[in-house]
Copies of this chain bind each other. A is one copy, B any other.
Amino acid sequence: MAKTPKILILNGPNLNTLGTRQPEVYGHTTLTEIEAMCQARALERGLAANCRQSNSEGEMVTWIQGARGTCAGILINPGAYSHTSVAILDALLTVELPVVEVHLSNIHQRETFRRHSYVSSAAQGVICGFGATGYLMAIDGLADLIGNAKGSGKKA
C-alpha cells in the first residue's frame, strides 16, 4: 500500500472517435486528450490512472473483473452500453470497488432510451453533462471515495 493506488478509467464503444463524432453533442476534445487530462489530475490526487477503451462489451467485462485486487476504484463512461448491458452491471457489482459513472452529455435531455443506465445501479456517484470536465470532477469524487474507504479501513 506504500505504492500509488491505481484506478481503472474505462471508456466504452465509440468514445475512441471523440472529437470527430457529433461534436455539437460531445465536444471537440479527443479521447487521447481526455486521458492525458485524467492522468494529470489523478497524479495530483495521488492516484495512477490506467486508461482503456473498448468497443466490445465482453472485453469491458473482462477488464472490470481484472480491476479486482489491482485497482482501488473505477471511473467508467460506458457509452451506449449504459443503456443495454446487464453484463457490465454484474461485473461492477462483482469487483466491490468504488465506481463513478460519467457521461459527456446530459443524457436526461436526449432520446428516452438514453435516460436509463443499468450501470447507475452499481455506481456510488453519477456525473453527466459537463463534457470533458466531468472526467476531472469524477476523479476528484473517486479520490474522495477511495480516501474515505481507506480512512474507515484504517480505523477498523
Q: Give the interface of A toward B (CB within 8 A).
A: 12-14, 16-17, 20-22, 54-59, 61-62, 65, 68, 79-81, 83-87, 89-91, 93-94, 106, 108-109, 113-114, 117-118, 120-121, 123-130, 133-134, 137, 140-141, 144-145
**Which of B16, B21, B129 is in CB contact (< 8 Å) with A125?**
B129
Say how many copies of this protein the assembly contains.
Answer: 12
A86-B80, A106-B125 known; A54 vs B58 contact (CB < 8 Å) = yes
Specify which chain B residues have a CB less than 8 angstroms from the CB of A144 in the assembled complex: 130, 133
- Can you spell out 13 A-B residue pairs with CB atoms less than 8 angstroms apart? A13-B61, A13-B90, A14-B61, A14-B65, A17-B68, A55-B58, A55-B62, A55-B65, A80-B86, A80-B89, A123-B129, A125-B128, A133-B144
Whether B113 and A86, one on each chain, are in contact in the complex, defined by CB atoms closer than 8 angstroms, is yes
Whether A94 and B129, one on each chain, are in contact in the complex, defined by CB atoms closer than 8 angstroms, is no
Specify which chain B residues have a CB less than 8 angstroms from the CB of A86 in the assembled complex: 80-81, 83-84, 113-114
